[in-house]
Amino acid sequence: MKSIPHARFISAAVFVLTAVFTIFCVPVFLQAAEGAEKFYASAVKYRAGYVEKLEELAEWCETNGLDSQAAETRRWAEPEEVWDEIRVSPLPNEFWERESEPVRAKSAKNSSKAKSSSGKKSAKGTGTAKNSKASSSSKSSLSSKSASKQKSGRSGRTKSAKDPAAEWETRFRQLRMTASNDYLKFARRAVSAGHVSFGFGLLMQSLHENPDNEGARRILGYLKAKDCWQTPFEALMRKSGNVRHEQYGWLPKKYLKKYEDGQRFLNGKWVSAEEETEFRSTIERGWTVETGHFQIVTDASLEEGVRVGEELEELYRVWKQLFLNYYATEAQISALFGKGNARFANIPKHRVCLFRSHDEYQTYLSSRQMYIPGSVGVYVHRSTGEGVSCFVAGEGERETMYHEVTHQLFEESCKTNPKNGELQNFWVIEAAATFMESFHEAENGAHAVGGFSSGRMRAARIYFVNSKKFIPFKEFVKVNRSRWQNSPEVGLFYAQACGMAHFLVFYENGKYRDAFGKILFDVYSGRDSLDTLTKHTGADWETLDREYAEFISQKPEEIAGYMIRD
């Protein structure tokens, strides 16, 4: 028999405590929640019409000798399906029109009309350059299928008398911008009807089509500057005269050259990088790295602090989108997707300590009566007065950091009950953390969570399918914090919690996804009961067990012959 090690035990002994969906090439329509059938059907119908228009444009490209543009148009019409992951593509800071400067410049050599229009922006301010006559042609040939047939029998067969490459770009952009606006309207309607996860997926699809959609950007908190998109934190930094360096983070612009030359500004004077490193050899005098949502203190190095800060911001972005209905009220969500202003409480930045050595890390925890042999990461609950995640730089797996910081985000983003999980439902606290520890980078710079073959999820499948170990949900919700931390079955507990998280997020295209956030809110706020799971999913215990078995048993050939050493 093949075997894998016991499922990793992540600092459970110290849990005195207890964060663009599918923007990148994933059909957002697969996220229809229970009760959202009408929205789902409308979205599918709209998608079919949009794909047909893209195919018409691709055929037009072939008629005009634009084979590469035809291929690109068809690629856009066929997004990659990833059923077991939630992907969020990074949104560019640069405006969309800048990406096409080389195309327009090339077209300008062959068309004076293209040249005269290459720097213009659309009337709606999306920054889209277009020739007015080409735009008119695009609307008549692509926006209305019937009008297209009246003109040429089929728009894809009409040969252009203008510069074909420039006209293709105009038409392709116009189709995407129209689709972006339509998806945003769909998103607002879905959210107003209570289907938050489905609506957020549509929002991210809107930004996939047009990264400059101002309404969608506003919902995500972006601000439009003179030359780029920026977050409120980035806007504050730039207003203060700072610039961002890839290695050193945010610095006053006048410091940049000296930092690159190996000098550091310390206690009012310039010193060498070596002198600063010697001074910051303890966590009390370490570097402080500020990001939009985190404050990292480290004595490892400035560069390491900046790198970890970037990773945590990426994690936060995915967490914030996935668990919107955990930290936001219905009124806030309604205002966020509406035309009003959503008001959120100011939350202090989440604190992180990054130690350069394991000994220093253990000494820090021991001084707080938290000695944990072998651990490399833990969240020290804020009820102790700390509210800080602690890690050893360069040690352990990234999953540990993602797991612990997820606990921190849930604890510190809302008013929570310090006794959450003490009576029952400790599973959901660990379910969310084990789900988020699957955070990873996907293709083309996208970030993703989930995955049927991720480490902990793989263990859940092996336990259920091969070892025949499963705790019925009605019994599993009774497991409290104390039993969880002291049980010899802790490996099974963690694995099944991870399996349950994936089940709630992905089963039948995410019909229980909104329920997951509501269950988490009830548990963290101390409002939960033994029936919280059935209450929010609307399913009885037998149904949930059966559906989970159906979900977790998929693709058994991938784990054939594997067992877990307990």
> pLDDT tens digits, residue range 87-138?
888 889 999 864 444 444 444 444 433 333 333 333 333 333 333 333 333 3
Q: If we measure between CA atoms, which residue out of 391, 368, 403 comes closest to residue 299?
A: 391
Residues of the chain with pLDDT under 70: 1-36, 80-81, 97-161, 395-396
Residue 332's Cβ-side half-sphere holds a number of Cα atoms within 13 Å equal to 9
Strand, helix or coil at 455?
helix
What is the pTM (predicted TM-score) of this model?
0.82
79 phi/psi in degrees, rounded to 5: -65, 150
CA dist list (Å): 561 to 5, 169, 441, 558: 14, 53, 29, 9
Cα 49 to Cα 28: distance, rounded to the nearest angstrom: 15
The helix/strand count (H/E) of the chain reads as 25, 16
CA-based nearest residue to 418, from 16, 5, 12: 16
- CB neighbour class for 150 (10 Å; exposed up to 12, middle 13-18, buried from 19): exposed
186 in Cβ contact with 202 (< 8 Å): yes
Name the token pair of 479: 């497991």
What pLDDT sits at residue 26? 34
Distance CA 108, CA 115 (A): 4
Residue type (1 letter), 511: K
Q: What is the pLDDT of residue 344?
A: 84
Q: How many CB atoms lie within 10 A of CB 527?
A: 11
Please state the length of the chain. Answer: 566
